[in-house]
Amino acid sequence: MPYTDPITATLLETIPVEQRTDTWRLVLRDGRIIPGHPGGGVALMKEVRLMRWLGRLLTALRLSGFIDAVDVYFAHARSWCSRFVPEGKGPHRYP
């Protein structure tokens, strides 16, 4: 969601402005906000129906830190990863 959206402002009002761009955040249906680091990747998997089993498995194996490390790696390797993404405007997903 864009930061300019009124719903976004409501969801992020508990997070200090200087920390809002530090990491991505997952907002659960009950309103809880889970930061991307630590544990957000596995929490996201648990929310996506097709990935729920993997999220539960990773939680049971205590591999949340590994998923966080993979996320950080790919975040820093954006220029390398971008060669696999076609040129042009991406799909519009909101609203």
In terms of residue numbers, what domain contains 49?
6-84
Return the structure tokens found at 55: 């999220």
pLDDT at site 57: 92
**Residue 92 maps to a domain:** no
- Catalogue the E-assigned strands of 14-84: 25-27, 33-35
**Residue 91 maps to a domain:** no
Q: Contact, 12 vs 31, CB < 8 A?
A: no
**Residue 90 maps to a domain:** no
Residue 95 confidence (pLDDT) above 60: no
**Residue 93 maps to a domain:** no
Q: What pTM was computed for the model? A: 0.61
Mean pLDDT of the chain: 79
* Per-residue model confidence as pLDDT tens digits over 15-29: 777 776 777 778 888
* Per-residue model confidence as pLDDT tens digits over 41-94: 888 888 888 988 988 998 888 988 888 888 888 877 777 777 777 777 766 666
Distance of CA 77 to the CA centre of its chain: 16
Q: How many domains does the chain have?
A: 1
**Residue 39 maps to a domain:** yes
